[in-house]
C-alpha cells in the first residue's frame, strides 16, 4: 500500500483505489473502506518507524501548522509525522500571526498557500473553521480540532489504540465519560466507533450528555456505575472549562465525586478494560493520577499512535 503512494509498481497502482478526499474535515466523510485504509496504513507507518526506516512520500512538499488554540500532542505529532514523510514544516501559531494585526484567518491561510504550503493543518476555537478554510483556499486542509465539533485524527488514533487492545471493535461496548457536550473528541469518536461496529455509552451529568439521544448505536447514562458496568473500554474526557463547561455541573468537586474515574470504579468495567484519555488530563478531576499511571491506561500509547495516524492521513491526502 505504501508503494502505491509514491512511484508504485504498475500492478499495485492498478489495484489501489484512488483516495477521493482532498481534505480531512471529519471522520463522517469516510466510508468503511476508507477508514480501514487509513488505519491499515497507520499500522504500516508505525512498523516502518519502529524499524527506523524513513519515507520520502512528501519530499518537496510543505505542510503548514496553523493552530489558533493551545495544543501539545496534536501539534507535535503532526510536525513529527510530516517530517517523517520528508516534508518541510512551517509552524504558524495563529496568536503570533498577522491575525493579531487584523488580518482575517482566511487571508492568513491564503498567505501560507502562496508561499508554497500544500497542506494546512488547522486548529480553531470556531466550529466549522476548517470547512470555511477548505472552501476558501486551494491547499488541502486537515481539521486538527474545531471548537466543539470534530477532531478526526484523534478519533482515528483512538480507534487504532482500541483495536490494538481489543482486537476488534465489532460488538464492543465503549463508555465515554465526562464533558461530552463540549467535546469534539467525543463527537468524532461516536461516528467512528459506531462505524466500526462498537456501541457507545455516553456517561455524565445530564447537561453534558443532552442531544445525543437519537444517535444510532449510542445509549446515555447519568449514573457512572451503570455506564461503566461491563464496558469493554472506557474513554475519559477533560472538562472543557474554556468552553464554559463549568456551567453544566454545580461544582467541579461534585463532578469528581460522582463521575470522576479511579481504579475502584474502573473495576466495574470488563476485566482489564483499557482506559483512554485524549489528554491533556486534569488529574484529580476526571481521573486520578494512579489510574492514569495504571497498567489499564493507554494514554501514552494514544500519543505514539497519533504520529502513525497523522502520517497515514497526510500521505493519503497527498496521494
Q: Which residues bind ligand NCD (CB under 6 A)?
A: 73-74, 145, 151, 154, 184-185, 238, 278-279
Closer residue to ligand NCD (CB): 38 or 235? 235
Is the distance from CB of 185 to CB of 278 less than 8 angstroms? yes
Q: What minimum distance in Å lies between the beta carbon of 259 and ligand NCD?
A: 15
Residue nearest to ligand NCD (CB): 238
Closer residue to ligand NCD (CB): 124 or 140? 124
Closer residue to ligand NCD (CB): 118 or 178? 178
Q: What minimum distance in Å lies between the beta carbon of 246 and ligand NCD?
A: 14
Q: What minimum distance in Å lies between the beta carbon of 238 and ligand NCD?
A: 3
Q: What minimum distance in Å lies between the beta carbon of 305 and ligand NCD?
A: 12
Q: What minimum distance in Å lies between the beta carbon of 266 and ligand NCD?
A: 20
Closer residue to ligand NCD (CB): 47 or 72? 72
Closer residue to ligand NCD (CB): 57 or 82? 82
Amino acid at each position: 500500500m505504501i508503494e502505491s503512494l509514491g512511484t508504485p509498481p504498475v500492478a499495485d497502482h492498478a489495484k489501489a483505489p484512488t483516495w477521493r478526499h482532498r481534505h480531512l474535515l471529519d471522520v463522517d466523510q469516510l466510508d468503511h473502506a476508507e477508514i480501514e485504509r487509513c488505519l491499515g496504513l497507520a499500522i504500516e507507518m508505525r512498523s516502518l518507524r519502529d524499524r527506523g526506516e524513513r519515507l520520502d512520500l512528501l519530499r518537496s512538499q510543505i505542510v503548514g501548522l496553523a493552530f489558533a488554540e493551545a495544543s501539545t500532542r496534536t501539534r507535535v505529532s503532526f510536525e513529527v509525522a510530516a517530517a517523517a514523510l520528508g516534508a518541510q514544516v512551517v509552524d504558524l501559531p495563529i496568536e503570533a500571526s498577522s491575525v493579531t494585526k487584523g488580518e482575517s484567518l482566511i487571508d492568513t491561510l491564503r498567505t501560507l498557500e502562496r508561499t508554497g504550503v500544500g497542506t494546512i493543518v488547522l486548529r480553531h476555537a470556531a466550529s466549522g473553521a476548517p470547512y470555511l478554510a477548505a472552501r476558501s483556499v486551494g491547499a488541502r486542509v486537515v481539521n486538527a480540532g474545531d471548537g466543539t465539533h470534530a477532531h478526526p485524527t484523534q478519533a482515528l488514533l483512538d480507534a487504532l489504540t482500541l483495536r490494538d487492545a481489543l482486537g476488534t471493535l465489532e460488538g464492543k461496548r465503549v463508555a465515554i465519560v465526562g464533558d461530552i457536550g463540549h467535546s469534539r473528541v467525543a463527537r468524532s469518536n461516536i461516528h467512528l466507533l459506531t462505524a466500526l461496529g462498537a456501541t457507545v455509552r455516553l456517561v455524565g451529568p445530564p447537561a453534558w450528555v443532552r442531544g445525543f439521544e437519537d444517535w444510532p448505536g449510542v445509549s446515555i447514562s447519568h449514573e457512572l456505575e451503570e455506564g461503566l458496568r461491563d464496558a469493554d473500554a472506557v474513554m475519559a474526557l477533560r472538562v472543557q472549562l474554556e468552553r464554559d463547561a463549568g456551567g453544566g455541573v454545580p461544582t467541579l468537586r461534585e463532578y469528581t465525586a460522582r463521575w470522576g474515574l479511579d481504579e475502584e470504579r474502573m473495576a466495574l468495567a470488563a476485566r482489564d478494560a483499557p482506559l483512554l484519555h485524549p489528554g491533556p488530563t486534569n488529574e484529580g478531576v476526571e481521573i486520578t493520577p494512579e489510574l492514569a499511571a495504571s497498567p489499564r491506561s493507554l494514554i501514552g500509547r494514544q500519543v505514539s499512535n497519533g504520529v502513525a495516524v497523522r502520517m497515514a492521513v497526510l500521505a493519503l491526502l497527498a496521494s
